Amino acid sequence: MRQSSLFTGALGILLALVSPVQGAWRLIWSDEFNGPANSLPDPSKWTYDLGNNNGWGNHELETYTNLPENAHMDGQGNLVIHVETALSGYTSARLKTQGLFAAQYGRVEARIKLPSGQGIWPTFWMLGSDVGTVGWPWCGEIDIMENIGSQPSTNHGSMQALGIRMEAPRFYSRGPDPTQPPNAPSSRPFRRHGLLVRRCFRRVRGQKLGFDL
């Protein structure tokens, strides 16, 4: 059986302009996933977690790879992430911007079409860019969107931020077409999932803190 999450070309980071009078937004990073079909995402923007790492702290069964069988563009402006079955179990992909891009505040948004089924847990999330030095959970974690297979009509947003202060964070999920059944696997529509953060810093040291996708 194959399950997939479909990410479209609306994944981007926006920051507020300096002038509070204008109240506008300035796009500073995005990926439109507009490469040819079956090609890997842009390596200047994305890297990967690899292996199983003892279940990644969540008892996960899959092994993460950087292979096109598990993550590729479809030639129509979408990134497709597949779960594949193999003799050794399951394979999938977990992409991240670690070491390539981080943002301290602004708006982060992705347009995502989710799969459905028991046992899956697609997530759009961020970790503090200092995870390599302070570790988790001290680096902080923002789960912009989590969708649990047993709760297909519920999208969760949460923060795990020990010693970190965020000013008025706001999670949102927009869509879908109200005429489409939210729980129907064959017709689960695209939704826009995002987070708006005005400012983020460590309470202890007043340190500016960036987050990686």
Active site residues: 141, 146
In angstroms, the Cα distances linking 189 to 83, 105, 122, 206 are 19, 28, 15, 41
In the three-class reduction of DSSP (H, G, I as helix; E, B as strand; rest coil), residue 118 is classed as coil
Of 100, 81, 122, give the one whose Cα is nearest residue 42: 100
Say if residues 108 and 79 touch (Cβ distance below 8 Å).
Answer: no
Distance CA 174, CA 208 (A): 29
Alpha carbons 114 and 6: distance in angstroms, whole number: 6
Cβ-in-10-Å burial (0-12, 13-18, 19+) of 23 comes to: exposed
* Euclidean distance between CA atoms 90 and 65, whole angstroms: 10
What does the block give as tokens for 5? 């999450």
